[in-house]
Each structure stands twice: as structure tokens, then as C-alpha cells.
């Protein structure tokens, strides 16, 4: 009952936040340079004003701004995100077709970065005055400071071009006709490079945060009491230090989970991964504003969902947190 009420309150707040995001994104797109009708007319080889007028009337661009806003908001309320005139498909169909690929990529990268970051941070905290601990932190700093697109390109050059271990692009082997377990293995093989590349940056953040949190927790009185009782260092590290150090990591992970969707734009573009990040890039280059607005909406919704899940996990990890906090 407690968690049901919490979820209900968060969902009500999410509706308000999404409404504000929809309004903001609409006006942001309106201020963007370029006329979609003029671009389509230029590509069609027609530059006369009558053709431009017909295109604007067809797309509803000739209507006042408040009319366009009302049509857009009322359409979203009915799960109608408009029509992509560049892709010749409804926006909702385009996004739903690409969304599973993005969720697979970002979900794998998130789990990988969080697990490896906590393990590496724990090792660095346990070896704080040893060369191995310094080496872990140095590697974390390198992964944090290195641009994501450069890591992606170097991964393709090394593991795909020179070593020929992993495929360089795509989500599966086109034309192979695989199904069942063979298809799962093929997708997993294509997933290794983009998921690892996306995870490295966030893994570095979790490593540094875990180390700092564990070093702070190791100075608390309950840890000194555990040492006085004669508990082994591994037990103290795992049950008393790491468990209490996880709370700020959970908070950070919830915030970073939504950011991974943005980071997936570069990763999906480099590796030709058919997700909404690559779709967003294509829509931006083609001035497909309806599609861009739909992607913005789904991206914001994903961030809100991740934040709600973080609230629930945070309360499970620390029951002392009250409902109204």
C-alpha cells in the first residue's frame, strides 16, 4: 500500500512534468532554423510559392502557433504523435520499431557499467595505498576523459578491422536468415562493442563514486565497532562498508540511466545500431520536426520512469527514508 501510494504520487507529478516538457520542446522546435516545407520543396526540385503554400497547408504550418500547439498537445493525449513526412510513416510506429534496440543497448550498458564500476571501486577502496588501487583510478580517469566517439572508432579499428573478432556495425547479420538461439547469439555478438563502449564512460563515474563513498563509510563508528569485534576485513568491506556506500551510487545511477539515452546517439551512429538515438540524428539532419518531438517525448518519459524506479530502489535499500521525502 505504501509503495502503491508512492508510485501514484510520482505518476501524477510525472504527468505535469511531461506536459511542461511537451510545451518547452514544441517552442524549442519552432525556434529552430529552417523551414521543413522549403526543404522538401527544394529536394523535389520545386521552388514556386504555390507549391510551398500547398506543403505548408498540408503540414499545418500555415496555422497560428497556438493552433499548432493545441493540435500537437491534443494529439499526444490520444497517443497520436503525428506523421513523419520524410519517412512516410506515423511517428509512433517509427519510434516503437526502434525503441527495443535502444533499450537493449542502454540496458546492457547500464548493468555492465554499474556492476564493473562497483567492483572496480570496491577494489580501489580496499587497495587505497597500493599501486593496484592507483592503477584502477588511473584507468577510470582515462575512460572518463576520453571522448566517447573516439573510443567507439578505436574499438571498431582494433576488434573489427585488425583482429576481426567482432562485427563493426548493425544489430544482426543481414541476410543470414538466423532464428532462435542462433539469432540471440548473433545479436549478442553485435552488442558487445556498442554496449562496452557506452558503458566505459559511466563505469569510470561509478568507480570513482564507489571508492569515495566506501572510504567515507570506512571512517564511521559502526565500522570501527565491527573491527573491534574481530570481524574479518572482507566481511567488514562487504556487509558494513559497501552496503552503506551504495545509497549515493543508487541516486547517481538513477540520474545516469536517463543520460545513457543521450549517450546512445553517438554510439548508435558509429555502430549503425538501429535505435532511437540514430533515428534522432537522422531526423535532425532531415528537419523532421514531428519525429524529433516524438523522440524528445519518449526520451523524457524514459528519464521519468528511471527516476521513479530509483525512488523505489532507494527506499528498499534504506527503509529509514519516509514516504513523503
pLDDT digits (tens, 9 = 90+) for 132-145: 888 888 888 888 88
Among residues 193, 178, 172, the alpha carbon closest in space to that of 267 is found at 193
Q: Please name each of the domains of the chain with its CATH number.
A: 1-80 (no CATH), 93-317 (1.10.3720.10)
Is residue 271 within 8 Å of residue 169, measured between CB atoms?
Answer: yes
Per-residue cell: 281:
540524428
Our measurement of the distance from residue 276's CA atom to the centroid of its chain's CA atoms, rounded to an integer in Å, reads 10
pTM above 0.75, yes or no: yes
Q: Is the dihedral of CA 117, 123, 129, 132 positive or negative?
A: negative
Q: What is the pLDDT along the chain (325 residues), one digit of tens a residue?
A: 556 777 788 788 888 888 888 888 888 877 776 666 666 666 656 666 766 677 677 767 677 778 888 888 888 888 888 888 777 788 888 888 888 888 888 889 888 988 998 888 888 887 877 888 888 888 888 888 888 778 888 888 888 888 888 888 888 777 777 777 888 888 888 888 888 888 888 888 888 888 888 888 777 777 777 777 777 777 777 777 777 777 788 878 877 777 777 667 778 888 888 888 888 888 887 778 888 888 888 888 888 888 788 777 777 766 655 544 4
Look up residue 210 and give its three cell numbers. Answer: 564507489
State the Cα–Cα distance between residues 242 and 220, nearest whole angstrom: 12
Of residues 64, 82, 63, the one with CA closest to residue 74? 82
User: Would you tell me how many other CB atoms lie within 10 Å of the CB of residue 323?
Assistant: 10
Q: What is the pLDDT of residues 21-58, one digit of tens each?
A: 888 888 887 777 666 666 666 665 666 676 667 767 77
Q: How many Cα atoms sit within 13 Å of 189 on the Cβ side?
A: 15
How crowded is residue 302: how many other Cβ atoms within 10 Å of its Cβ? Answer: 19
- Inter-CA distances, 1 with 4, 8, 114, 135, Å: 5, 10, 30, 48
The gap from C-alpha 193 to its chain's centroid, in whole angstroms, comes to 16
* Cα angle: 168, vertex 174, 177; to 5 degrees: 135
194 and 105 Cβ atoms separated by less than 8 Å: yes
As given in the structure block, the three cell numbers for residue 126 are 580496499
Amino acid at each position: 500500500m505504501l509503495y502503491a501510494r508512492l508510485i501514484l504520487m510520482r505518476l501524477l507529478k510525472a504527468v505535469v512534468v511531461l506536459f511542461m516538457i511537451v510545451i518547452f520542446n514544441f517552442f524549442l522546435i519552432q525556434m529552430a532554423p529552417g523551414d521543413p516545407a522549403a526543404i522538401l520543396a527544394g529536394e523535389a526540385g520545386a521552388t514556386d510559392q504555390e507549391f510551398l503554400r500547398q506543403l505548408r497547408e498540408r503540414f499545418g504550418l500555415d496555422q497560428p502557433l497556438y493552433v499548432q500547439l493545441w493540435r500537437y498537445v491534443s494529439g499526444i493525449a490520444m497517443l497520436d504523435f503525428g506523421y513523419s513526412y520524410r519517412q512516410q510513416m506515423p511517428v509512433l510506429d517509427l519510434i516503437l520499431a526502434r525503441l527495443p534496440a535502444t533499450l537493449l543497448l542502454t540496458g546492457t550498458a547500464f548493468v555492465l557499467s554499474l556492476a564493473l564500476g562497483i567492483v572496480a571501486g570496491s577494489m580501489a577502496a580496499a587497495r587505497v595505498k597500493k599501486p593496484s588501487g592507483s592503477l584502477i583510478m588511473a584507468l577510470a580517469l582515462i575512460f572518463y576523459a576520453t571522448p566517447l566517439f573516439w573510443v567507439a572508432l578505436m574499438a571498431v579499428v582494433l576488434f573489427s578491422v585488425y583482429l576481426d573478432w567482432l562485427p563493426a556495425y548493425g544489430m544482426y547479420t543481414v541476410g543470414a536468415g538466423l532464428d532462435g538461439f542462433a539469432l540471440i547469439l548473433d545479436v549478442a555478438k553485435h552488442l558487445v562493442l556498442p554496449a562496452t563502449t557506452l558503458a566505459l564512460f559511466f563505469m569510470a563515474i561509478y568507480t570513482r563514486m564507489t571508492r569515495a563513498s566506501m572510504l567515507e563509510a570506512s571512517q564511521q563508528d559502526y565500522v570501527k565497532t565491527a573491527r573491534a569485534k574481530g570481524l574479518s576485513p572482507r566481511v567488514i568491506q562487504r556487509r558494513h562498508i559497501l552496503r552503506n556506500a551504495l545509497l549515493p551510487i543508487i541516486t547517481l545511477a538513477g540520474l545516469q540511466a536517463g543520460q545513457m539515452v543521450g549517450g546512445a546517439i553517438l554510439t548508435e551512429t558509429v555502430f549503425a545500431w538501429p535505435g532511437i538515438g540514430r533515428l534522432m540524428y537522422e531526423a535532425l539532419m532531415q528537419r523532421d520536426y514531428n519525429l524529433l518531438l516524438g523522440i524528445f517525448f519518449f526520451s523524457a518519459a524514459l528519464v521519468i520512469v528511471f527516476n521513479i524506479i530509483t525512488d523505489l530502489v532507494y527506499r528498499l535499500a534504506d527503509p529509514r527514508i519516509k514516504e513523503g521525502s
